[in-house]
Amino acid sequence: MSQRLSSTPTPPREIELWFDFASNYSYLSVMRIGQAAAEADVSVRWQPFMLGPVFERLGWSGAPFVVQKEKGAYVKRDMERLCAKYGLPWRWPSAFPRRALLPMRVAAFAAGEPWMGAWCREIMQMNFAEDREIDSPEAVREALNRLDLPAGEIVAAALSDEHRAKLRTQTATAIERGIFGAPTFFVGNEMFWGNDRLEDAIAWAAGRTSA
Protein backbone atom coordinates (compact mmCIF):
# COMPACT_ATOMS: atom_id res chain seq x y z
CA MET A 1 0.00 0.00 0.00
CA SER A 2 1.50 3.29 -1.05
CA GLN A 3 1.67 6.19 1.36
CA ARG A 4 0.91 9.69 0.19
CA LEU A 5 3.69 12.03 1.22
CA SER A 6 2.69 15.44 2.52
CA SER A 7 4.55 18.44 1.24
CA THR A 8 4.95 21.93 2.61
CA PRO A 9 3.59 24.57 0.23
CA THR A 10 6.27 26.73 -1.30
CA PRO A 11 5.88 30.33 -0.10
CA PRO A 12 5.12 32.84 -2.87
CA ARG A 13 8.13 34.56 -4.39
CA GLU A 14 6.83 38.09 -4.01
CA ILE A 15 8.13 41.50 -3.05
CA GLU A 16 6.01 44.46 -1.94
CA LEU A 17 7.10 47.92 -3.06
CA TRP A 18 5.75 50.75 -0.89
CA PHE A 19 6.29 54.04 -2.71
CA ASP A 20 5.17 57.64 -3.22
CA PHE A 21 5.35 59.42 -6.58
CA ALA A 22 6.84 62.45 -4.82
CA SER A 23 9.80 60.43 -3.52
CA ASN A 24 13.00 60.75 -5.54
CA TYR A 25 14.48 57.49 -4.24
CA SER A 26 11.18 55.76 -5.04
CA TYR A 27 11.77 56.92 -8.62
CA LEU A 28 14.94 54.83 -8.80
CA SER A 29 13.24 51.69 -7.48
CA VAL A 30 10.04 52.07 -9.50
CA MET A 31 12.07 52.33 -12.69
CA ARG A 32 14.25 49.31 -11.84
CA ILE A 33 12.12 46.80 -9.96
CA GLY A 34 10.19 45.32 -12.86
CA GLN A 35 13.20 44.00 -14.72
CA ALA A 36 15.12 43.03 -11.58
CA ALA A 37 12.18 41.09 -10.15
CA ALA A 38 11.45 39.36 -13.47
CA GLU A 39 15.05 38.19 -13.77
CA ALA A 40 14.74 36.61 -10.31
CA ASP A 41 11.30 35.13 -11.05
CA VAL A 42 9.77 37.26 -8.29
CA SER A 43 6.42 39.01 -8.59
CA VAL A 44 5.88 42.61 -7.49
CA ARG A 45 2.99 43.84 -5.37
CA TRP A 46 2.64 47.60 -5.80
CA GLN A 47 1.74 49.44 -2.59
CA PRO A 48 1.20 53.20 -3.03
CA PHE A 49 1.01 55.34 0.11
CA MET A 50 1.40 58.99 1.07
CA LEU A 51 4.63 60.01 2.76
CA GLY A 52 3.23 63.28 4.15
CA PRO A 53 1.13 61.70 6.92
CA VAL A 54 4.05 59.41 7.79
CA PHE A 55 6.34 62.39 8.27
CA GLU A 56 3.69 64.13 10.37
CA ARG A 57 3.38 61.04 12.55
CA LEU A 58 7.15 61.12 13.07
CA GLY A 59 6.97 64.76 14.12
CA TRP A 60 8.71 66.14 11.03
CA SER A 61 7.59 69.49 9.65
CA GLY A 62 8.16 68.43 6.04
CA ALA A 63 10.28 66.35 3.70
CA PRO A 64 13.72 65.90 5.32
CA PHE A 65 15.55 66.82 2.11
CA VAL A 66 13.81 70.20 2.21
CA VAL A 67 13.93 70.84 5.95
CA GLN A 68 17.62 69.87 6.22
CA LYS A 69 19.45 71.94 3.59
CA GLU A 70 22.74 70.06 3.90
CA LYS A 71 20.99 66.74 3.37
CA GLY A 72 19.07 68.22 0.44
CA ALA A 73 22.29 69.36 -1.25
CA TYR A 74 23.79 65.91 -0.79
CA VAL A 75 20.70 64.15 -2.16
CA LYS A 76 20.70 66.27 -5.33
CA ARG A 77 24.24 65.14 -6.13
CA ASP A 78 23.49 61.58 -5.03
CA MET A 79 20.59 61.38 -7.47
CA GLU A 80 22.81 62.57 -10.31
CA ARG A 81 25.34 59.84 -9.55
CA LEU A 82 22.75 57.10 -9.15
CA CYS A 83 20.81 57.96 -12.29
CA ALA A 84 24.07 57.94 -14.25
CA LYS A 85 24.88 54.55 -12.71
CA TYR A 86 21.48 53.07 -13.61
CA GLY A 87 21.19 54.80 -16.99
CA LEU A 88 18.04 56.69 -15.97
CA PRO A 89 17.08 60.17 -17.15
CA TRP A 90 17.09 62.74 -14.36
CA ARG A 91 16.08 66.32 -13.69
CA TRP A 92 15.62 67.67 -10.18
CA PRO A 93 11.96 68.76 -10.00
CA SER A 94 11.38 72.50 -9.93
CA ALA A 95 8.64 71.75 -7.37
CA PHE A 96 9.83 69.34 -4.68
CA PRO A 97 8.18 67.42 -3.26
CA ARG A 98 5.67 67.64 -6.08
CA ARG A 99 2.00 67.14 -5.25
CA ALA A 100 0.84 63.76 -6.57
CA LEU A 101 -2.55 63.07 -4.99
CA LEU A 102 -4.50 62.22 -8.15
CA PRO A 103 -1.88 59.88 -9.67
CA MET A 104 -1.55 58.22 -6.26
CA ARG A 105 -5.31 57.65 -6.23
CA VAL A 106 -5.02 56.11 -9.69
CA ALA A 107 -2.25 53.88 -8.34
CA ALA A 108 -4.47 52.83 -5.43
CA PHE A 109 -7.22 51.99 -7.92
CA ALA A 110 -4.86 50.13 -10.28
CA ALA A 111 -2.66 48.32 -7.75
CA GLY A 112 -3.65 44.87 -9.00
CA GLU A 113 -3.87 45.73 -12.70
CA PRO A 114 -1.33 44.35 -15.20
CA TRP A 115 -0.54 47.90 -16.35
CA MET A 116 0.31 49.15 -12.85
CA GLY A 117 4.08 49.00 -13.33
CA ALA A 118 3.90 50.86 -16.64
CA TRP A 119 1.66 53.50 -15.06
CA CYS A 120 4.07 54.08 -12.19
CA ARG A 121 7.03 54.40 -14.56
CA GLU A 122 5.11 56.87 -16.72
CA ILE A 123 4.29 59.17 -13.80
CA MET A 124 7.80 58.92 -12.36
CA GLN A 125 9.24 59.80 -15.76
CA MET A 126 7.03 62.88 -16.00
CA ASN A 127 8.04 64.04 -12.52
CA PHE A 128 11.74 63.24 -12.33
CA ALA A 129 12.89 63.16 -15.96
CA GLU A 130 10.61 65.74 -17.59
CA ASP A 131 10.00 67.99 -14.56
CA ARG A 132 6.30 68.20 -15.34
CA GLU A 133 3.13 68.69 -13.34
CA ILE A 134 1.61 65.31 -12.49
CA ASP A 135 -1.34 66.12 -10.22
CA SER A 136 -3.73 67.68 -12.72
CA PRO A 137 -6.47 65.69 -14.49
CA GLU A 138 -4.90 66.73 -17.80
CA ALA A 139 -1.50 65.29 -16.87
CA VAL A 140 -3.02 62.08 -15.55
CA ARG A 141 -5.16 61.61 -18.66
CA GLU A 142 -2.14 62.23 -20.85
CA ALA A 143 -0.13 59.55 -19.04
CA LEU A 144 -3.01 57.07 -19.32
CA ASN A 145 -3.47 57.86 -23.01
CA ARG A 146 0.22 57.17 -23.59
CA LEU A 147 -0.46 53.65 -22.30
CA ASP A 148 -3.59 53.29 -24.49
CA LEU A 149 -5.80 53.06 -21.41
CA PRO A 150 -9.37 54.43 -20.98
CA ALA A 151 -8.35 57.66 -19.27
CA GLY A 152 -11.79 59.06 -18.50
CA GLU A 153 -13.03 55.84 -16.95
CA ILE A 154 -9.92 55.37 -14.82
CA VAL A 155 -9.83 58.96 -13.55
CA ALA A 156 -13.51 58.75 -12.60
CA ALA A 157 -12.87 55.52 -10.69
CA ALA A 158 -9.84 57.00 -8.94
CA LEU A 159 -11.90 59.98 -7.78
CA SER A 160 -14.66 57.78 -6.35
CA ASP A 161 -15.12 57.67 -2.59
CA GLU A 162 -13.97 54.04 -2.59
CA HIS A 163 -10.54 54.76 -3.98
CA ARG A 164 -10.06 57.98 -2.07
CA ALA A 165 -10.59 55.87 1.04
CA LYS A 166 -8.30 53.14 -0.28
CA LEU A 167 -5.32 55.50 -0.45
CA ARG A 168 -6.00 56.68 3.11
CA THR A 169 -6.21 53.05 4.24
CA GLN A 170 -2.95 52.24 2.46
CA THR A 171 -1.22 55.09 4.26
CA ALA A 172 -2.62 54.01 7.62
CA THR A 173 -1.38 50.47 6.93
CA ALA A 174 2.08 51.80 6.09
CA ILE A 175 2.20 53.56 9.46
CA GLU A 176 0.98 50.43 11.27
CA ARG A 177 3.70 48.36 9.61
CA GLY A 178 6.40 50.74 10.80
CA ILE A 179 7.23 52.35 7.46
CA PHE A 180 9.14 55.60 7.91
CA GLY A 181 10.31 56.38 4.38
CA ALA A 182 10.13 55.40 0.74
CA PRO A 183 10.83 53.21 -0.98
CA THR A 184 10.25 50.39 1.50
CA PHE A 185 10.15 46.73 0.52
CA PHE A 186 8.55 43.82 2.32
CA VAL A 187 9.12 40.14 1.75
CA GLY A 188 6.56 38.62 4.08
CA ASN A 189 7.27 40.44 7.34
CA GLU A 190 10.90 41.17 6.46
CA MET A 191 11.37 44.89 5.82
CA PHE A 192 14.03 46.54 3.67
CA TRP A 193 14.28 50.33 3.42
CA GLY A 194 15.77 52.39 0.63
CA ASN A 195 16.55 52.02 -3.04
CA ASP A 196 19.95 50.54 -2.20
CA ARG A 197 18.20 47.57 -0.59
CA LEU A 198 16.18 46.61 -3.66
CA GLU A 199 18.56 43.86 -4.72
CA ASP A 200 18.75 42.49 -1.17
CA ALA A 201 14.96 42.36 -0.94
CA ILE A 202 14.65 40.58 -4.28
CA ALA A 203 17.31 38.08 -3.29
CA TRP A 204 15.39 37.40 -0.05
CA ALA A 205 12.16 36.90 -1.98
CA ALA A 206 13.93 34.54 -4.39
CA GLY A 207 15.11 32.44 -1.45
CA ARG A 208 18.78 33.14 -1.99
CA THR A 209 19.12 34.65 1.49
CA SER A 210 17.72 33.58 4.83
CA ALA A 211 18.00 34.65 8.46
pLDDT grade, residue 4 (50/70/90)? very low
Confidence (pTM): 0.91
How many Cβ atoms are within 10 Å of 168's Cβ, its own excluded?
14
> In this predicted model, what pLDDT tens digit does every residue of 108-167 receive, in sequence order?
999 999 999 999 999 999 999 999 999 999 999 999 999 999 999 999 999 998 888 999
Q: How many folded domains does the chain comprise? A: 1
Residue 191's pLDDT is 98
On whether residue 6 sits in a domain, the answer given is: no
Which has the minimum average pLDDT: 10-14, 73-77, 82-86, 108-112?
Answer: 10-14
Quick one: average pLDDT of 181-207? 97
Average pLDDT, whole number, for the chain? 92
Residue 64's pLDDT is 78
On whether residue 9 sits in a domain, the answer given is: no
Residue 171 belongs to domain spanning: 14-205
On whether residue 75 sits in a domain, the answer given is: yes
% the chain with pLDDT above 90: 83
d(CA 88, CA 194): 17
State the DSSP string of the chain.
Answer: ---PPP-PPPPP-EEEEEE-TT-HHHHHHHHHHHHHHHHTT-EEEEEE--HHHHHHHTT-SS-HHHHSHHHHHHHHHHHHHHHHHHT------SSSSPP-HHHHHHHHHHTTSTTHHHHHHHHHHHHHTS----SSHHHHHHHHHHTT--HHHHHHHHTSHHHHHHHHHHHHHHHHTT--SSSEEEETTEEEESGGGHHHHHHHHTTS---
Which CATH number goes with the domain that contains 94? 3.40.30.10
Of 66 and 207, the one with more pLDDT? 207
On whether residue 2 sits in a domain, the answer given is: no
pLDDT grade, residue 12 (50/70/90)? low
pLDDT grade, residue 210 (50/70/90)? low
Which has the minimum average pLDDT: 5-9, 44-48, 165-169, 205-209?
Answer: 5-9
